[in-house]
Amino acid sequence: MPAFMFPPAMLLLSGSLALQTVTAHDADRSAELERRLAGPDGEILVVAHRGCWLDTAENSLAAIDACVAMGVDMVEIDTRRTRDGVLVLMHDATVDRTTDGSGKLADLSLAEIRRLRLRSAAGGKGVGTTAWRVPTLAEALAHAKGRILVNVDAKEDVRDIAATEVQALGMARQVLFKTEAPAATLAGKQWVSRAAFEPIINQRKLKGEMHEAIASYDVFKPVAYEIVFNDIAFLDEAVATLRGKPVRIWANTLDYDFSGGHVDRIALIDPDAVWGMMRDRGVDAIQTDQPRALLAYLDRTAPALSRDGSTALTGQEQ
């Protein structure tokens, strides 16, 4: 029967059921995201650095959408404050590399930022512009809510403001904040309790014993620890120290080298030597600029749990 022939009451009921289905799906997705962020689940958490920017633009809403479509678990975004105090997505202190504008972000108002267009991919001199604009942090969070986890990398002392925006959107269990700051300096910081928390244990900066540094953060109930290492022995020590704690172990394969040369450009040639090595040593969260390649590698090399917890077929089995 054509839709126009249904009685009004039936059409109303049909629309109501569709709305309930969408709402139930959204609730299930949000619950699944929160479960994955809350602690290890036997899967690698794939984190896209500055979003999935290779075919979009870094720190853009389009980069978030691309990650959702790709099946990435978490998007990392950077935030800074405009002259009039609004948090927007921007990695650098200036807008030169990533937009068609110039100057320090802190010297520009939100209205001035709104007039800029983002450059493609990672930007840079001579790179073409897109139709995309610089989003505010609140816009980016709302865009990601219930769709993908978010790591907010605050480039200034704006974590308390950012955490307030996270809390206002009801996303405290979908957003991660991290810091290298010593535990003793975090008492009283609002942001530590308003979102998921991840300390960074950096081999270049660690003073004292590994177990003491890790234990000092226990009071804040971290969901993960990021390990920045020069050599594998340091990673192994961190994994051994964290064994038994209900936390993820996070490592980076970014080409800036936070992992003793185990970086994306090598992983694209020999993924076993980078991503496979980390997985086999106990890492279960990897931040990368090559999320598509990492996802494909994980599908090829190991059976994984699907997002609803049931066994999923790997790429080889399909």
Torsion of CA 219, 220, 223, 224, to 10 degrees: -90
307 versus 144: the higher-pLDDT residue is 144
Q: What's the pLDDT at 27? A: 86
As a whole number of angstroms, the distance between CA 162 and CA 165 comes to 5
User: Please, which residues have CB within 8 angstroms of residue 106's CB and are 6 or more apart in sequence?
Assistant: 80, 81, 82, 83, 93
* 183-188 mean pLDDT: 93
pLDDT band at 15 (very low <50, low <70, confident <90, very high): low
In the chain the first and final C-alpha atoms are separated, in Å, by 39
As a whole number of angstroms, the distance between CA 173 and CA 177 comes to 11
pLDDT surpasses 50 at 317:
no
Contacts 24+ apart (CB under 8 A), 39-42: 39/223, 39/246, 39/247, 39/248, 40/246, 40/247, 40/248, 40/284, 41/305, 41/309, 42/284, 42/305
- Taking Cα atoms as reference points, which of 5, 3, 33, 32 lies closest to residue 18? 3
pTM value is 0.88
Tell the burial category of 293 from Cβ atoms under 10 Å away from its Cβ (0-12, 13-18, 19+): middle
Q: What's the pLDDT at 303? A: 59
pLDDT surpasses 50 at 311:
no
pLDDT surpasses 70 at 96:
yes
- Please name each of the domains of the chain with its CATH number: 12-312 (3.20.20.190)
Task: Tell me the per-residue pLDDT of 38-95, one tens digit each, with 9 for 90 and over.
Answer: 999 999 999 999 999 999 999 999 999 999 999 999 999 999 999 999 999 999 999 9
pLDDT surpasses 80 at 315:
no
Q: What's the pLDDT at 24? A: 76
- Taking Cα atoms as reference points, which of 281, 307, 282 lies closest to residue 72? 307
